[in-house]
Structure 1
């Protein structure tokens, strides 16, 4: 059982190859992906409470507020 998989690359052709490799590996080990929960080719996301975008990784504002208080 896997909960989250994050694939990052700067070049779209490499990204396609990485996605295919991950999906092929999951298939080999009889693991599946929930299409409704999957997001492909996005430029920003929140992952493990970090805001990730091209060239940036930031802590979520609520987490920063909790640390400051």
Structure 2
């Protein structure tokens, strides 16, 4: 195992979470692929539907349960 991984392994949970956040923030938005017009339109459509039908969606708990994942 390389030195960097050994150093990360000894960090506490909060320190690891902060590291993840710092890494995420360091990713330049320009390197991320742009959102297509079709994807934006689909997300807008779903958000509009969700706003018009509160409580009709599936909860994260139910999705996790159906996948056998424990949250």
TM-score (norm 1): 0.28
User: Which gives a bigger RCO, structure 1 or 2 (Cα 8 Å, sep 6+)?
Assistant: 1
Please tell me whether Structure 1 or Structure 2 has the larger radius of gyration of its CA atoms. Answer: 2
Q: Which structure is higher in strand share?
A: 1
Q: Which structure is higher in helix share?
A: 2
TM-score (norm 2): 0.28
